[in-house]
Structure 1
Amino acid sequence: MDGDLRGWRPCLLAGAVFAVCMAGTTLPTPLYGLYQEKFGFDELTVTVVYSVYAFGVIGVLLLAGDASDAVGRRPVLWWGLACAAASAVCFLCATALGWLYAGRLLSGLSAGLFTGAASAYVIELAPRGSPRATFVATAANMGGLGCGPLLAGVLAQYADRPLHLPFVVHLGMVAVSAAVLTLLPETVRDRKPLSTVRPQRPGLPPRVRAVFGPAAAASFVGFALFGVFTSVSPSFLAHSLGVRDHAVSGLVVALAFFSSTAGQLAVGRVGVARSLPLGCALLLAGLALLAGALHWDLLALVVLSAVVGGTGQGLSFRGALSAVARVSEADRRAAVISALFVVAYTGISVPVIGVGLLVEPIGLEGAGLVFIACMALLVSAAGVYLLRRPVPEAEPADRT
């Protein structure tokens, strides 16, 4: 048993570093209401501040998504931790709105650097051939995203200096993560200079397009749902439901990410061909529950929407990733996966800004209902298409 644990130790430590970085990207979520009070900005500004993060991620994916394949995993992860630390410093120094934009952009850069490199690193450090390696990478990614708002919400509610302490704690965690990273081995043996890294152009070979369209639509809706939860749900909870407990707001957002982890893990049992339409159905149910929550002002429906929608997001996104990887040729696979991530992160930003634009003329509830109607149409079309033309069954998800 001890020997088995020692074999897993590098993988688990790398997973912990991954989780720390991703937690920083969602740390401000339950604090946006406090920033609104401090700087006096509206809901549209909240959504724009939130969405700057996604543009940072997309920029890194397009410009340096494969950098760790060339220069090594650890250098890229150190750059990611440096961006995470700089983001925390921006929030600590925030005396005007510009600091929040800078902090979110740096947070997006850290997530973009970590998403591919850390996933590969965790899997490479696991005992060879273990199907649990993907589980560790998935849990670290989505679990870290869920822990961010939970940590910030609890500290903001029950400790002093709510706009400072969460970022001080995260800075300490980043410092420990950097120390841990120095103890872990490099897994890329044939390293090249940074000058060899070239921008990646997402591409879609003809054989991929039939699968990519509905898979991308489901991914777009799932990430859009997460975008709404992590940007405007704390404001809805406070103003419409009277829930001003930051810990509760953070927990509701965290539930969506934790449920996504469960959904992604279920793909191995459900199978890729079934996980995509099932994920679409659960996303549709999550959207319906959110519509009910907006209409009747019920906290229970918000919680159910987070759980059901999060599970659907996990099923649909991991199923989409597995499906497009399965039908892509090896020399084009990275470009196709990059294209899927670009669509997904567009979903986490553009619709959220649309909600922000509609808040002033029709209110938060009305804007939310318009968003839900648009996303429901998109995910329904994708689901119907996938039922009529199922994607090819892939290898079990842990091997894709």
Structure 2
Amino acid sequence: MAAAGVFAVGMMGTTLPTPLYGLYRLELGFSELIVTVVFAVYALGVISSLLVAGGFSDVVGRRPILFIALGLSTLSAVCFLFEAGLPLLYVGRVLSGFSAGLFSGTGTAAVLELAPRERSARAGFAATAANMGGLGLGPLVSGILAEYAPWPLKLPFIVHLALLAVAFAVTRLLPETVYRPSPLPPLRPQGMKIPPEVRGVFGACALTAFAGFSVLGLFTAVAPDFLARTLGEHNLAVVGAVVFSLFCASTSGQLLMARVGTRMALPLGCLILVVGLLLVGASLMLPSLPVLVVGAVIGGVGQGMAFRAGLTAVSFVAPDAHRGATISAFFVVAYVGISLPVVGVGALTQALGVADAGLVLAGCVILIVAGVGVHLWRRPPAAR
């Protein structure tokens, strides 16, 4: 679907810097804590965007918000292209976060609404796969370009700018799915707006997304440094491929969700995620690259299965007039999970080292996921 392609290109830009943090550290001389802070300001941008404008596309339409998101992504790529120190890195990451926040709710709603009714199940997979697939392509493409092509800190963003130009052209051709009243009502920040009929499903599903996204944050912010310092793996293409494997596995987990159903996929996804995290913890203690990759793949399957099931359950019960805002609230919780734990790991790294700090995060997430999984097993949400 064309809308899913636009969604994927937009999300791709948010993870392009992942294999490049080591190069930025050599160039600018900052610590692992600063790496996680640079990563986390992106999540703050996402959360701010979702809280302020999460429901705007329900009023002004999907296409105008998609255009704004693409524009912000373009500005972010330009910041990285011309970076000369930490200030532009911070600005670029914040702009990338604003873009991702708009894409998360609006892109998902657009993909779902543009699909024919008889393909609604496939549309749900297309939306979540575009999200995770785009996030996975970012580190893979930038890692390969940085390792085997010239201008390692420039070329990935030049390529992304070219893809964004195509995405702009495609978005112009997309039909609008939202009726826009004339004149438009005033746009006001809606914050965390969760309709009453959604709240019974929202809590456990959002907490599962929080835990799963904290795993994504661990890999995209800390795993490259762990690979280089502990395992001696300095090939940026390999670093990008390891992170890509996690997001590919997440996409596979989303596909499997359709076979087992939403009610079963939520607790089962939590169980699989726990197994993956145990293997990731084992890889940090050994240390072992193969075990890390296997843990990433298994954990990614569990994360994707639970994430898509949670998003499907929440979207299913959300009223049409507030679907974009409800989906945005779901992503707010998820992106809190991708930011706060990662900054904590960055701080712990100063005292414990990368491996032990990663073990602490893995242990905390295992406890959360196990608790939520038991709850969902006993009280599954009412969803298709």
- TM-score of the superposed pair, with normalisation by structure 1: 0.90
RMSD of equivalent CA atoms:
2.0
User: Are 1:74 and 2:52 matched, yes or no?
Assistant: no
How many angstroms apart in 2 are the aligned matches of 1:119 and 1:381?
28
User: Are 1:125 and 2:114 matched, yes or no?
Assistant: yes
Tell me which of 230, 248, 253 is aligned to 2:220: 230
Deviation digits for residues 16-37 of structure 1 (CA, Å, limit 9, x no counterpart): 2211111111100100110011
Give secondary structure in 2 for the equivalent of 1:232. Answer: helix
Q: Aligned in 2, Cα 1:181/1:108: closer, same or farther, shift over 3 Å?
A: same
Aligned to 1:299: 289
Q: Aligned in 2, Cα 1:349/1:390: closer, same or farther, shift over 3 Å?
A: same
How many angstroms apart in 2 are the aligned matches of 1:185 and 1:331?
18
User: Are 1:365 and 2:355 matched, yes or no?
Assistant: yes
CA shift, 1:180, in A, is 2.4
How many angstroms apart in 2 are the aligned matches of 1:38 and 1:102?
18
User: Are 1:51 and 2:40 matched, yes or no?
Assistant: yes
Give secondary structure in 2 for the equivalent of 1:349. Answer: helix
How many angstroms apart in 1 are the aligned matches of 2:327 and 2:295?
28
Give secondary structure in 2 for the equivalent of 1:130. Answer: helix
The answer to whether the Cα contact below 8 Å between 1:259 and 1:310 also exists between their aligned partners in 2 is yes
CA shift, 1:157, in A, is 0.5
Aligned to 1:340: 330
Which amino acid is the alignment partner of residue 212 of structure 2?
Answer: G
Bigger mean CA deviation after superposition, 352-361 or 106-115: 106-115
CA shift, 1:340, in A, is 2.5
CA shift, 1:185, in A, is 3.0
Which amino acid is the alignment partner of residue 273 of structure 2?
Answer: L
How many angstroms apart in 2 are the aligned matches of 1:60 and 1:283?
28
Deviation digits for residues 297-326 of structure 1 (CA, Å, limit 9, x no counterpart): 111111112111111111111222233345
Which amino acid is the alignment partner of residue 300 of structure 1?
Answer: P
How many angstroms apart in 1 are the aligned matches of 2:4 and 2:326?
25
Q: Aligned in 2, Cα 1:199/1:149: closer, same or farther, shift over 3 Å?
A: same
Deviation digits for residues 132-152 of structure 1 (CA, Å, limit 9, x no counterpart): 222322222211111111000
Deviation digits for residues 173-195 of structure 1 (CA, Å, limit 9, x no counterpart): 11122122223333334355666
Give secondary structure in 2 for the equivalent of 1:366. Answer: helix
How many angstroms apart in 2 are the aligned matches of 1:168 and 1:194?
37
How many angstroms apart in 1 are the aligned matches of 2:253 and 2:266?
11
Which amino acid is the alignment partner of residue 53 of structure 1?
Answer: Y
The answer to whether the Cα contact below 8 Å between 1:71 and 1:192 also exists between their aligned partners in 2 is no
CA shift, 1:127, in A, is 3.7
User: Are 1:152 and 2:130 matched, yes or no?
Assistant: no
Deviation digits for residues 69-117 of structure 1 (CA, Å, limit 9, x no counterpart): 2222221111111111100111011111111110110101111111222
May I ask how many residue pairs the two structures share in their alignment? 383
Tell me which of 95, 110, 119 is aligned to 1:106: 95
Deviation digits for residues 28-80 of structure 1 (CA, Å, limit 9, x no counterpart): 01001100111101111111111111111111111111222222222111111
Alignment of 1:28-47 (within 5 A): 28-47=17-36
Aligned to 2:243: 253
Q: Aligned in 2, Cα 1:184/1:343: closer, same or farther, shift over 3 Å?
A: closer
How many angstroms apart in 1 are the aligned matches of 2:327 and 2:178?
21
The answer to whether the Cα contact below 8 Å between 1:66 and 1:197 also exists between their aligned partners in 2 is no
CA shift, 1:273, in A, is 1.4
Structure 1 residues not aligned, in runs of 5+ = 1-11, 396-400
Deviation digits for residues 198-255 of structure 1 (CA, Å, limit 9, x no counterpart): 2123245677555433323221110000001000101101111111110111111111
- TM-score of the superposed pair, with normalisation by structure 2: 0.94
User: Are 1:95 and 2:96 matched, yes or no?
Assistant: no
The answer to whether the Cα contact below 8 Å between 1:70 and 1:196 also exists between their aligned partners in 2 is no
Taking only the aligned residue pairs, the percentage that are identical comes to: 55
Tell me which of 253, 257, 264 is aligned to 1:267: 257
CA shift, 1:329, in A, is 6.0
Bigger mean CA deviation after superposition, 256-265 or 20-29: 256-265
Which amino acid is the alignment partner of residue 360 of structure 2?
Answer: V
Structure 2 residues not aligned, in runs of 5+ = none
Q: Aligned in 2, Cα 1:193/1:107: closer, same or farther, shift over 3 Å?
A: farther
User: Are 1:314 and 2:304 matched, yes or no?
Assistant: yes
Tell me which of 164, 179, 190 is aligned to 2:180: 190
The answer to whether the Cα contact below 8 Å between 2:109 and 2:323 also exists between their aligned partners in 1 is no
Deviation digits for residues 352-390 of structure 1 (CA, Å, limit 9, x no counterpart): 000000001111111111111111111111112222223
The answer to whether the Cα contact below 8 Å between 2:104 and 2:328 also exists between their aligned partners in 1 is no
How many angstroms apart in 2 are the aligned matches of 1:230 and 1:327?
32
Q: Aligned in 2, Cα 1:190/1:340: closer, same or farther, shift over 3 Å?
A: closer
Tell me which of 219, 226, 230 is aligned to 1:240: 230
Q: Aligned in 2, Cα 1:386/1:136: closer, same or farther, shift over 3 Å?
A: closer
The answer to whether the Cα contact below 8 Å between 1:32 and 1:46 also exists between their aligned partners in 2 is yes
Aligned to 1:27: 16
